[in-house]
A and B are shown apart, each in its own frame.
Chain A
Amino acid sequence: MTKELTPQEMLRIDLTPPNRDWMDIPTVIKPGIYCYPAKPEKVEAVGMPNPHVWSPLDDDWGLPEDWKETFLEGMRERLNKHRSFKIFMDICVRCGACADKCHFFLGSGDPKNMPVARAELIRSVYRGEFTKAGQILGRLAGGRKLTEEVLKEIWYYMFQCTECRRCSLFCPYGIDTAEVTIIGRELINLFGLNINWIQEPVANCYETGNHLGLLPHTFKQNVEFMCMDIEEFVGIKIEPPFNRKGAEILFVTPSGDVFAEPGIYTLSGYLMLFEHLGLDYTWSTYNSEGGNFGFFTSLDMAQRLNAKIYAEAKRLGVKWILGGECGHMWRVVHQYMNTFNGPPDFLEEPVSPITGTKFENAKSAKMVHISEFTADLIKHGKLKLDPSRNDHFKVTYHDSCNPSRGMGMFEEPRYIIKNVCKNFYEMPENTIREQTFCCGSGAGLNAGENMELRLRGGLPRANAVKYVHERYGVNMLACVCAIDRAVLPASMEYWVPEVDVCGVSELVGNALIMEGENERSVDLRGREIPGRGEVKEDV
């Protein structure tokens, strides 16, 4: 297990698969790799099927009698609902271009984690159960029958994919493993076989409005707690508005930002920015979550959780919605929300009240990314910034998978960082922008019990960070994703202990010169800024 493995030991990875037919290699479910099963009450809370107590290490997973028919019927239904899934089942030529593009394969050497192989786990069932050739020729046609063993194997590997879509970038036909994983997980969820790290946030989000299950008053308190920090470090008193009707803008961010380090410092950044601008906005406790673990459960569940955003915007009567820094939240917001629950005709096309800029790219869905919003402010000279307050950081930027390959937001955060920091260094080009590597813990895999999987999956990203750390002395990894902020610290601590993690908005908050602020001798984390406090260098 992880605790006994040093990074050197972890790095003994053999990327050469055995010279055997993959169907002959039995799958062994290992501690440190799998996540704990969903608790029945959390499955029940959202009305999903077959809530029961089970364990991945047991022989009997408590499958319903007719599970096989249900699985195959579910598969048929999804083949008919998604052209993507149908085509991706048919046209893979197994060229191998995706094989070494997956962070889980590169970090573990498990050949079934090559994206093509992971998809073949399901494709083989498709061929064996749905195509004539597979039904007649069986293995010779690459087909196999659905058995309990096969289901368990699919379960194990569907939770070793973070739906980051790096493989789909390199596929000559655009086959997207995330589509296969999304649908694979939907099928798994027909039997109550989710993992609890996904199911519990889903149940929480459904009821309390956020993954962490923060009740309305607690959510408010947490935000106000950060205002106390800001008052102490910056000298500005902020009273953020909650559930306020008639505000111009509804702000939605992942609840991770109001809960734990270092996300809370990103929250400080938001609060300061809005205060500085005098923005007419509101938080919502009802819709206190931008992230969407429903997306890691089923598209239906994703739609149900996502529905609150527009519903709350309508109730509060806002004009448009501003979204905080989050990865998969932005995949859902950008590529799904409008189709799920739109079009939101009761909202107005987003216009920045400060600069008058129309956000053309969001004119239908009416939701703007905080980095788009901030970059526009900086470009128009609306923020007074002192980048030297971030001089103690040598920053690199981690492109989160979803805003990269499911949206294409690359320049905005970079533009912001370059304006609020003086020391910015890019990681090697094959590891950033559209080719970025996952943090290793996305898509609901950021639990504690699967730490070995997370550290292995985090290796390619950490390895690139280590490169810029050794070469340029980089000590801060900036990102625009709450899961990144939650999980990269563990990955950094293991692989590159000298590097911290922050949100881009935290760096903005550090550099932002606010009216009436005090001499800033500490940053938003309350850490002394070197060279401050005693002698202040004048610009």
Chain B
Amino acid sequence: MKVPEQVRRLALLIAILAGVTLLARFVLIPRALVSTDLHWAEAVQREVAKPVKFAGAVACQDCHEDVVVKKAKGFHKGVTCETCHGPAAKHTEEPGAVTPPAPRDRRFCPACHTYDPSRPTGFPQINPTAHNPLKPCISCHNAHDPVPPRVPRECAACHAQIERTKAVSSHALIACTTCHKAPERHKSAPRAALPSKPETREFCGTCHSAGTAAKDAPKEAPKVDLSTHGGRSLCWECHYPHLPEGRT
């Protein structure tokens, strides 16, 4: 078949275009521009070469062994130096020239220790407005070994959320120790020595039973017949003892 003239011309043009493209892509352009492997290796190199600003937990102990040893025994053993003192890589390079700041301001510690209901129960929290106003934290607490200045008298020091809840409930006047027996050691090693919890219906019955069991209980405490009320359920399956009038 005879190829029409215009097709030959078009084919020539396409061939030239394709040739130039292929030549450019595979010959003229250096491999460095099109090699993904090379690009990635370079990018990783650049990433690795970025400066480190936090020296890391182990960098401090060469010079500050005394503090590190002290801290390792206290409640702040899991808190690294740079958590409070800030990035210190420069300080490790030129200890004389760059000194990391020591946060002595009263506003610093509450970043972790202000009461916040979202914080896990048991984490030591205070109300900064009420807690020794205006005094810098370090006047009573050593941040490197932060034991409370005295063993907490109040359960609320740690169990603030429960205390706040209970404070507005009809159980407000009942001391925590009425229902929980807390061994002395619970104050220093809270998780090692756990307080007791009531285990039976009869325990609540000492105040809330309609029978003779509760004859010493306050009159205003609501009374129920333990033999019929709530079947075999335990009281706290329906009532929250720290807020008994709350909906459950």
- Does B associate with A? no
